[in-house]
Amino acid sequence: MSETSIVVLGSANMDLVVSADRAPQLGETVTGRTFRTVPGGKGANQALAAARAGANVQFLGAVGADEYGHRIRQLLAAEGVEISGLVDAPEPTGTAHITVDGAGSNSIIVVPGANGTVTTLTDEHRGIISGATMLLLQLELPLKLVAQAAAFARWAGVRTVLTPAPVVPLPDGLLDNVDVLVANEHEAGVVAGRTGGVTSADQASEVAAVVAKRVREVVVTLGEQGAVHAATGADPLRVPAFTVDAVDTTAAGDTFVGVLAAGLVDGLETAAALRRASAAAALAVQRFGASTSMPSRREIDRFLADRDT
């Protein structure tokens, strides 16, 4: 890969996915329909989504020296993602234990494993990030590392996109070093300090406007209600969702972020990049799994062309 447009510093997991008619309640056992193992992790997912959408991507993170780590490496490399910054750790590869119900909704427990060993920004990380156009960050790596990376990217003039998931209280200064925050309705509510979360596009617009006072741009995703974009000095922008029959929403948000980033580094206007991201997410939710669900650039183009005719 001669040039890296997007660097992703993030997690790589093996998703252990069970599908069932419904998720069990506390203390209950239910019978599942299927079980599959699918490479995932928010960082690896976003890297794959961006690469399939046509971006040059490099991934920084850690996996274990085990079968799961080997499979993740193979997949990323096969999709054209540069993985020289993906190291082998003494801990096992991280895992995500996912239950998908009959409506396509999911619940997830993540065991960090090797991801938890990436605790500080290295000289190699700095060299790779400084040569990028955009840095994608999430919160499945230690928070101190995420804050370090965002601060360094700001110093290096690299545009940073943060997905605050799994959502936790953010350290002082982190948001000040983020250019684009992409959050779902729950995450956006937590970041904005809003009790009760966000349940409508109007509320999302209000929350986005509040957060945009600290972050240059904010995108709040609302599933079937689409997405809301806010930026300081600009009018709010609402992007409708495409109506599809969802079977699995796992990694839909990561698909959205990766394709949004690919569109932005490709020079698309914000509205056009958001529409492509929404189309990619609509395609992803019609398929099972994380990495297995993310569409190619050609599929996104065809989906949008069909909607424009």
Please report, for the chain, the start and end positions of each structural domain, with discontinuous segments joined by +: 7-308
Among candidate residues 88, 254, 301, 308, the one labeled active-site is 254
Instruction: Give percent above pLDDT 70 in the chain.
Output: 97
Choose the weakest-confidence range: 38-52, 207-221, 250-264, 271-285: 207-221
Choose the weakest-confidence range: 178-182, 282-286, 289-293: 289-293
Residues present in the chain in total: 309
CATH class of 7-308: alpha beta
Q: Provide the pLDDT confidence category of residue 190 given band limits of 50, 70 and 90.
A: confident
How far is Cα 90 from Cα 107, in angstroms, rounded to an integer? 28
How far is Cα 219 from Cα 81, in angstroms, rounded to an integer? 25
CA dihedral 251, 182, 82, 275 (to 10 degrees): 80
Indicate the angle between helix axes 297-308 and 270-284, nearest 10 degrees. Answer: 100
- How high is the pLDDT of residue 105? 83
User: Residues 106-124: what's their mean pLDDT?
Assistant: 93
Residues 27-65 as b/e (b if ≥16 CB within 10 A, e otherwise) read eeeeeeeeeeebbbbbbbbbbbbbbbbbbbbbbbbbbbe
Compare 1 and 118 and report the one with higher pLDDT.
118
Mean pLDDT score of the chain, rounded to an integer? 91
CB atoms within 10 A of CB 202: 12
Q: Provide the pLDDT confidence category of residue 1 given band limits of 50, 70 and 90.
A: very low
User: Residues 16-31: what's their mean pLDDT?
Assistant: 92
- How high is the pLDDT of residue 2? 41
Quick check: is 254 catalytic? yes
How far is Cα 6 from Cα 57, in angstroms, rounded to an integer? 5
User: Residues 244-249: what's their mean pLDDT?
Assistant: 84
Q: What is the pLDDT of residues 134-176, one digit of tens each?
A: 999 999 999 999 999 999 999 999 999 999 999 988 887 899 9
- How high is the pLDDT of residue 250? 76
- How high is the pLDDT of residue 113? 96
Cβ(260)–Cβ(276) under 8 Å? yes
Choose the weakest-confidence range: 188-192, 257-261, 266-270: 188-192
Q: What is the pLDDT of residues 39-80, one digit of tens each?
A: 999 999 999 999 999 999 999 999 999 999 999 999 999 999
CB atoms within 10 A of CB 132: 23
pTM: 0.92
